[in-house]
């Protein structure tokens, strides 16, 4: 990988001075390459994480959430915003004039910088996404459900991200479907909006999926049916964790044969010995 002088110096300094940074950077390089991301992405991530590691004297995986938050606040206070950010939606980037032909009202609209990291630009996209999801909401209670896989699978997530993350999403949905179809819990067809997260707040690999699930579902006759929890709880999380584990491992076994993924049998045994985490509130 080729870096410019400043980026090379920062990353080389971190590799030399910070324990474990070299292996941490190599893993990140592998992940970015497997994801098909550009060399500039690796350069930007490497520079930012090298700065953080040099500041604390350790890799980000060993930092607490509080340390990371304090560091980000410090950067926000000490670094001036980039030219593109500060000029966003100002006269510096030009603009256009909107005029109403009926009342004569004139309004000046300045151009945005279109930088994907700019809060002004991405706030609009975020609000549009939220509004679109709100249009899909039903007049019922909703639950936030999170399915998390054990850290023993992290290595396979790095090397086979598409396969593992597809399995995570499928296993999570199949688990919800099983409980929703069961008359003891609901006996109806449910739905969900899912968002995949692959990293935690401390920049460590932490694959999990968030789902927003309605507290009821549609019966075969097309009528709405509320769950037995009456909006107070969805399904028993301990039972869901057992079903989720079984669904995930079954899909993983199948994928390991179809995709020629070298997974030792002892790993499957270890996965069944672990308590898998399912959260619902």
**Pair of tokens at residue 46:** 């490497």
CA 151 distance to own-chain centroid: 16
Query: How far apart are alpha carbons 111 and 92 in whole angstroms?
Result: 9
Per-residue pLDDT at 48: 83
Which ranges of the chain have pLDDT less than 50?
1-7, 80-83
Per-residue pLDDT at 2: 41
Per-residue pLDDT at 209: 95
**Pair of tokens at residue 12:** 């080389």
Question: Has residue 177 been placed in a domain?
Answer: yes
Asked if residue 251 and residue 171 are part of one domain, the reply reads yes
What range defines the domain where residue 41 resides?
5-78
Question: Has residue 91 been placed in a domain?
Answer: no
Question: Has residue 271 been placed in a domain?
Answer: yes
Question: Has residue 215 been placed in a domain?
Answer: yes
Question: Has residue 123 been placed in a domain?
Answer: no
Question: Has residue 103 been placed in a domain?
Answer: no
What would the DSSP string read from start to end of 93-152?
A: G-EEEEE-TTT--EEEEEPP---TT-HHHHHHHHHHHHHHHHHT--SS-EEEEEEE--GG
Asked if residue 157 and residue 272 are part of one domain, the reply reads yes
Question: Has residue 121 been placed in a domain?
Answer: no
Per-residue pLDDT at 85: 65
Domain count, the chain: 2
Question: Has residue 115 been placed in a domain?
Answer: no
In degrees, to the nearest 5, what angle opens at C-alpha 272 toward C-alphas 267 and 273?
Answer: 95
- Which residue pairs, CB below 8 angstroms and at least 24 apart, start in 66-74? 68/201, 68/202, 68/203
Q: What contacts 62, CB < 8 A, 6 or more positions away?
A: none
**What is the dihedral sign for C-alpha 116, 120, 124, 127?**
positive
Mutual orientation of helices 237-258 and 265-273 as an angle, nearest 10°? 170
């Amino acid at each position: 990988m080729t870096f410019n002088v400043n980026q090379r110096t920062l990353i080389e300094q971190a590799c030399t001075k910070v324990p474990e940074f070299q292996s941490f950077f190599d893993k990140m390089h592998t992940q970015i390459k497997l994801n098909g991301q550009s060399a500039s992405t690796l350069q930007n991530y490497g520079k930012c994480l090298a700065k953080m590691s040099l500041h604390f004297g350790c890799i980000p995986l060993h930092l607490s959430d509080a340390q990371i938050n304090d560091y980000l606040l410090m950067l926000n206070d000490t670094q001036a915003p980039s030219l593109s950010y500060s000029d966003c939606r100002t006269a510096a980037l030009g603009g256009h004039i909107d005029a109403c032909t009926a009342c004569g009202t004139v309004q000046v609209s300045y151009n945005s910088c279109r930088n994907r990291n700019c809060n002004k630009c991405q706030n609009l996209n975020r609000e549009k996404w939220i509004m679109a999801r709100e249009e899909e909401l039903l007049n019922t209670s909703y639950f936030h459900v999170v399915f998390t896989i054990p850290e023993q699978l992290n290595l396979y997530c790095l090397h086979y991200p598409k396969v593992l993350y597809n399995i995570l999403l499928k296993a999570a949905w199949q688990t919800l479907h099983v409980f929703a179809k069961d008359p003891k819990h609901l006996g109806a067809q449910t739905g969900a909006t899912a968002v995949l997260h692959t990293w935690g707040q401390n920049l460590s690999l932490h694959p999990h999926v968030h789902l927003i699930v309605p507290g009821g579902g549609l019966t075969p006759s097309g009528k709405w049916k509320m769950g037995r929890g009456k909006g107070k709880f969805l399904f028993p999380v301990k039972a869901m964790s057992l079903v989720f584990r079984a669904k995930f491992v079954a899909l993983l076994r199948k994928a390991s044969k179809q995709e020629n993924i070298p997974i030792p049998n002892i790993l499957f045994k270890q996965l069944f010995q672990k308590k898998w985490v399912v959260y619902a509130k």
